[in-house]
Structure 1
Amino acid sequence: MAAPSGTLPSIAETIARHGLDARKSLGQHFLLDPAICARIAAQPGDLTGRHVLEIGPGPGGLTRALLDTKAASVTAVEIDRRAIAALAELQAAYPDRLRVIEADALKLDTATLLPAPRVVVANLPYNIGSPLLVRWMQEAACFKALVLMFQQEVAERITAAPDSEGYGRLSVLAQWRCRCAMLLRLPPGAFTPPPKVHSAVVGLTPHPDPPSPALFASLERVTAAAFGQRRKMLRGSLKSLGEADRLLDEAGIAGDRRAETLSVAEFDRLAQGLLARSL
């Protein structure tokens, strides 16, 4: 772990100097407590030789904690120009290990942004967390691990089991591609400014043998149809896919069941069947 070159200002000094107040329009709630940031940075395990991607670093609280690990490099993607200026001071202190990119994370090909082995560790802005997760599930094989902060409600949906209240499309997509675990829960007071909801950190470890893009798209279609009308029986909710009864019969799934009762494996069978029909 390389020490910073020169004196590094405190994060409070950095925020004051750049007038970096959190903006609701950007979904910003800064995580500044060094102890909490260190706990999050430790969740992926030993980062020696790993290249870490962070989205929405803000003034750099978690970024500092990641640079305190043995990660080979940290690439921070930020859209807020005020934060870019604040992060420049941190980049100057770690010129060989920190790269700051001004960009919209939703428009970046994050899988090719940094060399392997790649790890994502991020306190995600609330307004882009779910869309980013779906994107990353499409390219999950590119990452060794993902440690992501969400609103607690979203985190609970990602890790929810079948037949539970939170189980839905996000649960299926995430658990189909990764082993998912709730790692930490944080109260509003851990952030500046405090959000109105609790937050939680989820760990995602990608499964081997990634599916084809066509199979991923097929699963997206099945889950969108099934959970889009989750109160309906599957024979009704899957009608938009065509020949719903046949699709269900071939997958060995009763048509009077509802989406929330299906396991991830059963959704996989439906996706496989739908894809086979289109070939």
Structure 2
Amino acid sequence: MTDFAPHRARKRFGQNFLHDQGVINRILRAVHPQADQHLVEIGPGQGAITAGLLSSGARLDVVELDRDLHPVLLAQFGHNPQFQLHKGDALKFDFSTLEDDERPLRVVGNLPYNISTPLMFHLLNQATHIRDMHFMLQKEVVQRLAAGVGDNHYGRLGIMVQYHCQVEHLFDVGSGAFSPAPKVDSAIVRLTPHHQLPHPASDPRQLEIVVREAFNQRRKTLRNTLKRLLSAQIIEEEGIDPGLRPEQVDLAGFVRLANRLGKADNNEQTL
């Protein structure tokens, strides 16, 4: 077996390697991989979770950007016919290319904090190929993802992710579980794409516009934050009090406003 010098975590990749075996086992129990499944691990690092995923007998594709980790991963797992290493940036990776049979992908990853949000949306754009996702993220990000109406953490990120999938905040992970230890705590979240959207928007881009505008000044009322897009009368016609603050409006309400905005735009184009 080839010996490698210890790999030093790189700041530019946002690397914090998980070493707490108790946490690793808890993540594996949450994912509960099965032999007939197709898993994808993003940023396997030094393989802390990789070994457990492979031991299930499942097929496992891993995507790793750090070239210094490629020989380490291949030395540990390259002999396993169920293992496949993809060298590259997960933000640019087309995950749909991995689905070569009827099995939807199950995605797992300890995501660097600096790319977690864009990477989640990159994956949600390919959600038709994905069964579920289990991510280690900054605890505050998971709180924002899972927040409901009236919660201090409720906002643009949670609404847009909940539009696409069910969000479950599974458990928290202290900074001591990593090397080097980050300055913040982490948490594990499960994202399960909806088979059918519970509140489909006519155009999701309009939903993004409305939600972004509403939360740009979250302490103001909808009457003020959305005045460039929708009048107070139109907001009221959709069954929403224009005197509410954005954190008091649920996903279904924002979808109604987005659909109304889409109708207004279409009417302008036909004039």
TM-score when normalising by structure 1: 0.86
- 1:224 paired to 2:209: no
CA distance in 2 between partners of 1:191 and 1:244 (Å): 50
Residue 94 of structure 2: aligned partner? 109
Alignment CA distance shift 1:86-1:215 (3 Å): same
Contact 1:31–1:192 under 8 Å retained in 2: yes
- 1:31 paired to 2:18: yes
* Equivalence map 1:56-95=2 (5 Å): 56-71=43-58, 73-94=59-80
Q: Aligned-residue CA RMSD in angstroms?
A: 2.1
Contact 2:95–2:126 under 8 Å retained in 1: no
Structure 2 residue runs of 5 or longer lacking an equivalent are 267-271
Deviation at 1:38, TM superposition (A): 2.8
Task: Give runs of ≥4 in structure 1 deviating > 6 Å.
Answer: 211-214
Aligned letter for 1:258? R
Aligned letter for 1:87? L
Aligned letter for 1:252? G
- 1:189 paired to 2:159: no
SS of corresponding position for 1:76: strand
Contact 1:229–1:237 under 8 Å retained in 2: yes
Alignment CA distance shift 1:70-1:246 (3 Å): farther
Contact 2:230–2:261 under 8 Å retained in 1: no
CA distance in 2 between partners of 1:28 and 1:247 (Å): 48
Aligned letter for 1:91? F
Aligned residues between the structures: 263
CA shift digits 1:157-209 (9 cap, x unpaired) = 11111111111111111222222111121111111111111100001122122
Contact 2:144–2:153 under 8 Å retained in 1: yes
Residue 268 of structure 1: aligned partner? 255
Residue 139 of structure 1: aligned partner? 126
SS of corresponding position for 1:170: helix
SS of corresponding position for 2:99: coil
Single out whichever of 97-106 and 268-277 deviates more from structure 2.
268-277
CA distance in 2 between partners of 1:167 and 1:150 (Å): 17
Residue 28 of structure 2: aligned partner? 41
Structure 1 residue runs of 5 or longer lacking an equivalent are 1-6
CA distance in 1 between partners of 2:12 and 2:116 (Å): 14
SS of corresponding position for 2:203: helix
Aligned letter for 1:90? Q
CA distance in 2 between partners of 1:155 and 1:236 (Å): 29
SS of corresponding position for 1:205: strand
Contact 1:34–1:65 under 8 Å retained in 2: no
CA distance in 2 between partners of 1:53 and 1:89 (Å): 19
Aligned letter for 2:60? V
Residue 99 of structure 1: aligned partner? 84
CA distance in 1 between partners of 2:165 and 2:33 (Å): 19
Residue 3 of structure 1: aligned partner? none
CA distance in 2 between partners of 1:244 and 1:136 (Å): 35
